[in-house]
């Protein structure tokens, strides 16, 4: 079944799954060689947000090639366009910094020294992807305003219990 993005509920599912402190994988590429790393992130108002440092290799890769993939390490994956929004104390980041402080309240100030000028925020906005919930998969393309919804017929939603 094909729907429009807004009426499909796919954006609500992404918000529900990733609005809190979430470990995600960020994949970048340099000279057609992909690299992946795990980062803390959250999804807010249509984008994934990351606090990091301008000196990190993946930030440099984003600055030269803004197309990244974000995944939860499972089947949920998002093709995004990412960019550095600046230092957390920049005026443009005032509102999102408040969200960072709420979402990462246990560790934000302890881990991020905002006196260091290279601390920065990354905003990664999905333009297409795949997310699942309740044995239903949603393949979406925001640019085309299309979501394909299908029942999942394989192991994607299996919840395994420990055997010990």
pLDDT tens per residue, range 40-60? 999 999 999 999 999 999 999
Q: Closest Cα partner for 19 from 73, 93, 105, 99?
A: 99
Give which of 6, 52, 16, 48 is closest to 133, Cα–Cα.
Answer: 16
- Tell me whether residue 163 is in a domain: no
Question: What whole-number distance in Å separates Cα of residue 2 and Cα of residue 5?
Answer: 9
Facing residues of 152 across strands?
Answer: none
Indicate the SS3 state at residue 120.
strand
Neighbour count for residue 106 (Cβ, 10 Å): 9
Domain that holds residue 120: 2-157
User: For residue 45, is it within any domain?
Assistant: yes
Backbone angles phi and psi of 13, in degrees to 5: -65, -45
- Looking from the CA of 158 toward its CB, the CA atoms found within 13 Å total 7
Is 164 contained in some domain?
A: no
144 part of a folded domain: yes
Opening angle at CA 157, ends 152 and 159, nearest 5:
155
| Total domains in the fold of the chain | 1
Residue 26 lies in a domain: yes
Q: What is the pLDDT of residues 89-123, one digit of tens each?
A: 999 999 999 999 999 999 999 999 999 999 999 99
DSSP state of 8: H
Please indicate, yes or no, if residue 137 is contained in any of the structural domains: yes
pTM more than 0.85: yes
Q: pLDDT digit string (tens) for 117-158?
A: 999 999 999 999 999 998 888 999 999 999 999 888 765 545
Residue 121 lies in a domain: yes
Assign residue 37 the CATH number of its domain. 2.30.110.10
Q: Assess if residue 162 is contained within a domain.
A: no
């Amino acid at each position: 079944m094909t729907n429009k993005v807004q009426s499909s509920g796919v954006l609500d599912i992404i918000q529900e799954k990733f609005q809190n402190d979430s470990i995600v994988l960020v994949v970048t590429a340099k000279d057609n060689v992909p690299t992946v790393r795990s980062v803390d992130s959250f999804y807010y108002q249509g984008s994934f947000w990351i606090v990091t440092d301008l000196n990190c290799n993946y930030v440099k890769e984003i600055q030269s090639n803004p197309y990244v993939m974000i995944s939860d390490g499972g089947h949920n994956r998002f093709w995004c366009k990412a960019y550095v929004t600046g230092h957390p104390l920049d005026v443009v980041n005032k509102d999102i910094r408040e969200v960072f402080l709420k979402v990462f309240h246990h560790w934000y100030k302890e881990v991020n020294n905002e006196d260091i000028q290279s601390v920065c925020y990354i905003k990664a906005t999905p333009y297409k992807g795949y997310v699942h919930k309740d044995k239903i998969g949603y393949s979406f393309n925001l640019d085309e305003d299309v979501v394909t919804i299908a029942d999942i017929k394989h192991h994607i939603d299996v919840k395994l219990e420990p055997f010990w």
